[in-house]
Structure 1
């Protein structure tokens, strides 16, 4: 019998962020494809802080169900086709993007994978969160040349792409937020930001933001929520557009379960300044998938954009990598590379 390894949720933590001991690396029977299914050998998968919400019990209307004890973790992955049914258009050796990471082998319907092809010079770049940032800026916020843009969570998987994309789309001034003073220099020198605001610094967050954007903010791309969203909207100019793509303040609250993300807002400024506030998912704009990949590929080859990420070698390090992502230890995305 052929075997493979996968990482499962062992226990749901009653309090605090999931720890490596809440996960387990299990050797089990390798999945076998039914007629019409693909067998994939995973090469890379991404480690996402959003898993905290699924581990904590999930939220209503989320695209993924909660992870129960004993379940393997889900996540975006690039896999190599090991076997493919006739008529699928795929052959052994082809690389595809799918959502069954955290395991060495996966069985997937051909309709649920995206062939990687040669659109991007590095197949790992298909695991970037750039499409989320691109769709949010072009469709959600309808970014205009010269706009002042604020990206909360500027050092995260979405934020490290968003600053660069906003610059390429013609933003006038771009400000990022981060909880790490050590990341400020990298945001400003390498990732398209003109200034960075540090959560938890000596100066109040709102005061730092006012100094970084003295004329106000036109576009807010929010991945965090909480205090940062409140301050961003208070600094928004008339007609500003705020697009919410994440809620890290709630998801990574060590006192919560990752399933709520509360924020206190003064609605008077929203009304009087005609500020729009909308939740956003790139899934509502499927046309941005190919559009983003084409532009991303061109930008990568031209050297005008990078994919900031950390590669972690082997399944054995994945559980610790998840904890490090939730603690904000890395800049950009974290990708587990399988031999």
Structure 2
């Protein structure tokens, strides 16, 4: 009999998560409830937001209960069904957990997907999933960049940031990316077509601000913010008049017991700029629209979405920590199984 391995949250992390915060257990494979179905998870998305869900603190989603598997978006195959809408063998995308098998009750948000139109099912966790569509809607719908404007992206070598920069180029922007380390900066230019890459490592706010200013002497019109902290402080010193800041993430804060914050918000006032808090969950009803455009750009060779696929549920902790060490080289995905 197969077992259901589950990567559980055993205690609340304090600062950077450690192995002891989690446990990998084996339990019986669950049965489908009346009207529901069981998914054999094949790939799971690993994202910085999961760190926030581990804290017992107010957020846009409830905290992960202790003893539950770490919540994750997964793509997998229906293994057993008592639902009229889902059949065994259907590929489905939904919010489940880091586990081999997940129970989906009737009336949930899991949706069928067509894996025949992608080179790997994992594409629904990257280019055509929340990551790619975060970049798409955050830039096109929220920032509304115009041709000739300067777009500044922090966390630019990450899964979202690299897509934002490339979409910005498609829309006719001049794109500056901030990333950590020479290799990531090389990738911004050579792989993703950014105009300028700036390495933030080892630089003070003043030094980083000066480098941004040299790259954008007239200021930046759009900031796509993924980092926060000192990086955001340096960016705020280089806003053009009426700049738009899309606040998508604050990864510098997630493992910090004491929040860092920003000190240069006065520049938002003096430049009459705006900051827009942004979550992809507001655009779920438009995923088909965004996914079609992302797929078209990739087919045309105008958009490159890299994936960093780590293998094995037993390696979930090491894979997750790649997000915070900067080791990941694209959208971080954990491969759990091949399917049925």
The superposition leaves residues 9-59 of structure 1 with CA deviations (integer Å, 9 ceiling, x where unpaired) of 223334x3112332211101222221111210001001122222222324x
How far 1:234 sits from its partner (Å)? Answer: 1.8
Give distance in 2, aligned partners of 1:95 and 1:335. Answer: 17
Q: Spell out the pairing of 1:177-326 with structure 2 (5 A cutoff).
A: 177-202=178-203, 204-253=207-256, 256=257, 260=259, 262-267=261-266, 269-326=267-324
Of 74, 94, 102, which aligns to 1:106? 102
Of 113, 116, 138, which aligns to 2:113? 116
Cα 1:243–1:202 shift into 2, 3 Å: closer
Of 89, 96, 110, which aligns to 1:93? 89
Give distance in 1, aligned partners of 2:286 and 2:244. Answer: 19
TM-score using structure 2 length = 0.90
How far 1:143 sits from its partner (Å)? Answer: 1.7
Unaligned runs of at least 5 residues, structure 2: none
- Contact 2:34 2:83 (8 Å CA) reproduced: no
Give distance in 1, aligned partners of 2:121 and 2:49. Answer: 22
Give distance in 1, aligned partners of 2:317 and 2:59. Answer: 27
Give distance in 1, aligned partners of 2:247 and 2:303. Answer: 23
- Contact 1:119 1:294 (8 Å CA) reproduced: no
- Contact 2:32 2:82 (8 Å CA) reproduced: no
In the alignment, which residue of structure 1 is the partner of 2:73? 76
- Contact 1:74 1:99 (8 Å CA) reproduced: yes
Give the secondary structure class of the aligned counterpart of 2:96: coil
The superposition leaves residues 142-192 of structure 1 with CA deviations (integer Å, 9 ceiling, x where unpaired) of 121222101111112211221112122222x11111122221101111113
How far 1:97 sits from its partner (Å)? Answer: 1.0
- Contact 1:121 1:301 (8 Å CA) reproduced: no
Give the secondary structure class of the aligned counterpart of 2:139: helix
Cα 1:193–1:331 shift into 2, 3 Å: same
Q: CA RMSD in A?
A: 1.9
TM-score using structure 1 length = 0.91
Give distance in 2, aligned partners of 1:143 and 1:38. Answer: 43
- Contact 2:33 2:82 (8 Å CA) reproduced: no
- Contact 1:151 1:221 (8 Å CA) reproduced: yes
Give distance in 1, aligned partners of 2:140 and 2:286. Answer: 9
Aligned residues: 329
Unaligned runs of at least 5 residues, structure 1: none
The superposition leaves residues 278-306 of structure 1 with CA deviations (integer Å, 9 ceiling, x where unpaired) of 10112223343111110111122222222
Give the secondary structure class of the aligned counterpart of 1:106: strand
Give distance in 2, aligned partners of 1:91 and 1:169. Answer: 41
